[in-house]
Amino acid sequence: MDGPVAPASGGAGQGLRHSAALVQSPGEFVEVAAAFLEEGLRAGDLPVLAAAPESADAVRRALGGRAGTVEVDPRVCLLGVRAPDAVAVIRQVLDRALAGGSGRLRILAEPVFGADPRRWREVRRYEAVSNALVAPLPVTAMCVYDRSRVPADALDTARVTHPELLVGGRPVANPGYTSPDACLREIAVVREPVEAGEPVYAVDDVPTLPALRHGLRTVLTAVVPDPDQHADLHLAVSEVAANAFRHGRPPVSARVWADGTTVVCTVTDSGPGYDDPCAGFVPAHGDDLAAGGMGLWLARKLWDSVDLLPGSTGGLTVRLATTLSPSAPGRVVA
């Protein structure tokens, strides 16, 4: 694992408390969210509200005069950013809380799933990996799932990724909780529909890294119409390819699938294998980016989805997938 996201200024109190509340309506969402944030204000925590704009506005109205003491940052619930940037925001806000003398950081989050099943998987992945990366930090987080707005097929994320559930107004141990490693491995085996067809690019036993980078650049130029998005995707997959040559062993192979709306790329090496599904959510060597170890982290920042698939007898496949859209590179469309 890349390791916990340690705050620069140390910690206070116990580690992560991560709970979920399943509510029936927007009105109940506001009631639960406001009560949770008010509890944090009374305890001296630094409260952060991470929700869609209309939900955040409703909660702030319910808080009345105390709303000004609550920070609002939708990035924490993956609005406008991908998971590595959301994790970085949590660290930054926590450092600010500790520097200001707050005992804990308190986060009220509204998971926003949208209509795209890939988005559902990424929300689930982010919820799961947070349990590993934020575990030692003084953070109390509650994710409120509104049954009237969250797709029914996505509601199970609340039960699988939260150690506690809100029952009768109190957090209790969740018997359905799944460990981060197990949850992330389950997500990784889900194939993209486009992979059922023939790849538009397939190469085995690539002789050199420059040859693979050139081949990937050529095919991405052909299937990614936006030049900025093409540049980002190629930069990230080039780093993944470099990892295959640097840390794996030949033969190295690659595949690309594309259907006009989605691009999927896999890079496979035959090395000793690598089995850390949490890798890449923070830089491998911490804040010192000059030390390297940024390949998977960069991939997770620039592609919508990154899966690590260890081979049964060694080797590793890294699968990257993204939606082609007119949105700005790096923006997650809910």
Q: Span 43-50, mean pLDDT?
A: 95
- The answer as to whether 7 is a domain residue is no
47 & 101 share domain: yes
- The answer as to whether 120 is a domain residue is yes
Give the residue numbers spanning the domain of 242: 192-323
Per-residue pLDDT for 4 more than 50? no
Boundary of a domain, candidates 144, 161, 186: 186
Report pLDDT digits (tens) over 112-141: 998 888 999 999 999 999 999 999 999 999
- Decide: 88 and 59 in contact? Cβ < 8 Å: no
- The answer as to whether 27 is a domain residue is yes
- Decide: 50 and 38 in contact? Cβ < 8 Å: no
Q: Span 47-52, mean pLDDT?
A: 97
Per-residue pLDDT for 266 more than 60? yes
Q: Residue 320 has which token pair?
A: 């990257």
β partners of residue 305: 321
Instruction: Name the DSSP letter for residue 248.
Output: S
Contacts of 142 (CB under 8 A, 6+ apart): 19, 20, 21, 32, 36, 107, 108, 109, 166, 171
- The answer as to whether 145 is a domain residue is yes
129 & 49 share domain: yes
Pairwise pLDDT comparison (311 vs 110), residue with the higher score: 110
Q: Span 160-170, mean pLDDT?
A: 94
163 & 309 share domain: no
CATH number (domain holding residue 210): 3.30.565.10
39 & 175 share domain: yes
Q: Span 227-233, mean pLDDT?
A: 95
Contacts of 4 (CB under 8 A, 6+ apart): 132, 133, 134, 135, 136, 137
163 & 219 share domain: no
In this prediction, residue 10 carries a pLDDT of 36
176 & 302 share domain: no
In this prediction, residue 286 carries a pLDDT of 60
Pairwise pLDDT comparison (78 vs 332), residue with the higher score: 78
What is this structure's pTM? Answer: 0.89
CATH number (domain holding residue 65): 3.40.50.300
178 & 295 share domain: no
Boundary of a domain, candidates 186, 201, 228: 186
Query: What total of structural domains would you count in the chain?
Result: 2
pLDDT band for position 285 (50/70/90)?
low
Boundary of a domain, candidates 186, 210, 238: 186
pLDDT, mean over the chain? 89
In this prediction, residue 291 carries a pLDDT of 45
Percent of the chain with pLDDT over 90: 79
32 & 166 share domain: yes
- Decide: 277 and 188 in contact? Cβ < 8 Å: yes
Contacts of 262 (CB under 8 A, 6+ apart): 192, 193, 194, 321, 322, 323, 324
- The answer as to whether 4 is a domain residue is no
| Lowest mean pLDDT across 52-61, 208-217, 295-304, 305-314 | 305-314
Helix H or strand E segment including 39: helix 26-43
Q: Residue 195 has which token pair?
A: 């992979």
Contacts of 231 (CB under 8 A, 6+ apart): none
Percent of the chain with pLDDT over 70: 90
95 & 209 share domain: no
pLDDT band for position 330 (50/70/90)?
very low
196 & 182 share domain: no
- The answer as to whether 1 is a domain residue is no
Q: Span 20-39, mean pLDDT?
A: 97
- The answer as to whether 332 is a domain residue is no
Pairwise pLDDT comparison (257 vs 332), residue with the higher score: 257
168 & 246 share domain: no
What's the CA gap between 284 and 293, in Å, rounded?
Answer: 5
302 & 262 share domain: yes
Q: Residue 331 has which token pair?
A: 């923006």
Among 97, 92, 98, smallest CA distance to 69 is for 97
Lateral strand order in the sheet of 71-72: 71-72, 46-50, 105-109, 139-146, 17-23, 164-167, 170-173
- The answer as to whether 8 is a domain residue is no
